[in-house]
Structure 1
């Protein structure tokens, strides 16, 4: 859990320190702009932008019942962030498994990727697809079929 927040917290803390130094130097406008420049990537790389993760077994069970894809991801992964942002609201229709929280999810990703923990790995109808195009993932949603 703490590993997922390390990078975003370091970004936010660094921005706060530099902004405080700029305020003390008499540049509150520059401090505000710089703080925002640090906080935006901190927010995007945090787990906050992703739907609530579910355990791998629960995601697989739900996927078998409703036909929705399962996405294995990890916080800080730029390709996962790209997938999440490009899917927009449609991302809530997927079952998201955080492989840093769920050892079964990490094992499923390693099994699908020759031992590597390459994410995002999207499982559709039992077939794994590593780092697929977000447009393709959108076509795999039940509403798109």
Structure 2
């Protein structure tokens, strides 16, 4: 939990310190807004609700939708999430920092590394998948 929320909370704390130190000025408020926006981007809030790896695999087997393993703060995960836009909600997202089984599944696919994003669709893993590939898998 600390690994997921530590950086966003630190960014917000820095923004508050800037505002307090500068005696609320427009520059201080601007920094607070900028740091708050970065905190939201680095937090789990921008991703669809995560499920456990076991639940994601069970659901994927039933309906064929892909499972995407990710972690907060990963710029490649953010890129994939934003490039998928609303289609991202149809995939099953597993936060590997919250689910040890998800982290183990990624390590098994990547040869011991926790490289994310990793998509598994129909039992076929793809590390750092192209957003167009994920969209095609979601449409199928």
TM-score bucket (shorter structure): over 0.9
Cα deviation 1:106-139 (Å, max 9, x = unaligned): 1100000010000000001101100111122111
Structure 1 residue aligned with 2:97, among 86, 100, 123? 100
Counting only pairs closer than 5 Å after superposition, residues 44-59 of structure 1 correspond to structure 2 as 44-59=41-56
Cα deviation 1:75-127 (Å, max 9, x = unaligned): 11111111111111111100011111111111100000010000000001101
1:34 corresponds in structure 2 to 31
2:21 corresponds in structure 1 to 21
CA distance in 2, matches of 1:135, 1:11: 32
1:137 aligns with 2:134: yes
CA distance in 2, matches of 1:136, 1:83: 11
Counting only pairs closer than 5 Å after superposition, residues 118-137 of structure 1 correspond to structure 2 as 118-137=115-134
User: Runs in 1 of length 4+ with deviation above 6 angstroms?
Assistant: none
Deviation at 1:28, TM superposition (A): 1.6
Structure 1 residue aligned with 2:40, among 38, 43, 46? 43
CA distance in 2, matches of 1:82, 1:47: 14
Q: Secondary structure at the match of 1:119?
A: coil
CA distance in 1, matches of 2:12, 2:131: 29
Cα deviation 1:6-29 (Å, max 9, x = unaligned): 00000110111012212x2xx621
Q: How many residues align?
A: 140
Mark the runs of 5 or more structure 2 residues left unpaired by the alignment.
none
